[in-house]
Amino acid sequence: MLRLGVNIDHVATIRNARGTPWPDPLRAARIAAEAGADGITAHLREDRRHISDSDIDALMEHLDLPLNLEMAATEEMQRIALRHRPHAVCLVPEKREERTTEGGLDVAGNDNMLADFIAPLREAGCRVSLFIGHEPAQIEAAARIGAAVVELHTGAYCDLDTEGLIAERDAELAGLTEGARLAADLGLEVHAGHGLTFDTVGPIAALPQVAELNIGHFLISESVFTGLGEAIREMRRRMEEARK
């Protein structure tokens, strides 16, 4: 069955806007679990703009679902991951000035560094995932350095759909389709995520090689109107419909 990981970063964004304890990301994670999520994703950024160290502490202590810790490939983040040993670690590119992750990790251009970086994480029992574009060189490099998983960046596909650029959207979807096929052929588990909505999730969920989708911002946005549990249940329904 196609898994759904729910990213709770922007529950923390709302909390941090007022500097109060509310809304609590751990509570959101528990609601997600009750609604059928298979895992929780949280991105601990270097500037701590949303998820905090104490959030990771609480999730590791109290969460019953697997935690996917998104982070940059820095010494500080490696130390945190090795201390907590979450189920999965997803390495992402990170720039202080960006509002959200703008592209995939350049694995092909940093393969030696990343191979050394992920080795202790693998030894600690973490499943290492790399957040990348669908370019063959990046996928091949991910397999070469020993990653267990690649998460394909669906942001461009979603943006093109929103802008109504249908031909360009379809070309991007074709690239993702080929990327998923290549990754699976190389023995990588394939995940996908970034920007997915009710309207865009279907074609990605339909890709047979994709084992997991990680979705956050849209679900938190939709929860303002319907509640988080209902937003997650509707997303699961659309994912399952696409898989049929």
Give residues with Cβ within 8 angstroms of 141, minimum separation 6.
107, 108, 111
Was 103 annotated as part of a binding site? no
The one catalytic residue among 43, 84, 134, 153: 43
Q: Buried b / exposed e across 88-116, counting CB within 10 Å, b at 16+?
A: bbbbbbbeeeeeebebbbbbbeebeebee
What tokens does 54 get? 């104490």
Q: Is 36 annotated as a binding residue?
A: no
The gap between the terminal CA atoms of the chain, to the nearest Å, is 11
* CB proximity list for 23: less than 8 A, separation 6 or greater: 11, 14, 15
Catalytic residue among 70, 94, 151, 222: 70
Tell me whether residue 100 is annotated as binding: yes
The shares of helix, strand and coil residues in the chain, as percent rounded to the nearest 5, are 50, 15, 35
Can 194 be counted among the known catalytic residues? Answer: yes
Residue 13 among known ligand-binding residues: no
- Give the integer Cα–Cα distance in Å for 165 and 168: 6
Q: Is 45 annotated as a binding residue?
A: yes
Contacts of 189 (CB under 8 A, 6+ apart): 148, 149, 150, 211, 212
Q: Does residue 50 have a known ligand-binding role?
A: yes
Annotation-wise, does 15 bind a ligand?
no
Active-site residue 98, yes or no?
no
43 assigned to active site? yes
- Tell me: is residue 191 an annotated ligand-binding position: no
**Annotated catalytic residue, options 94, 194, 212, 222:** 194
C-alpha radius of gyration, the chain, whole number: 17
* Residues recognised as catalytic: 43, 70, 194
Binding residues: 7, 9-10, 18, 45, 50, 100, 195, 216-217
Binding residues for 1-deoxy-D-xylulose 5-phosphate: 9-10, 45, 50, 100
Binding residues for 3-amino-2-oxopropyl phosphate: 7, 18, 195, 216-217
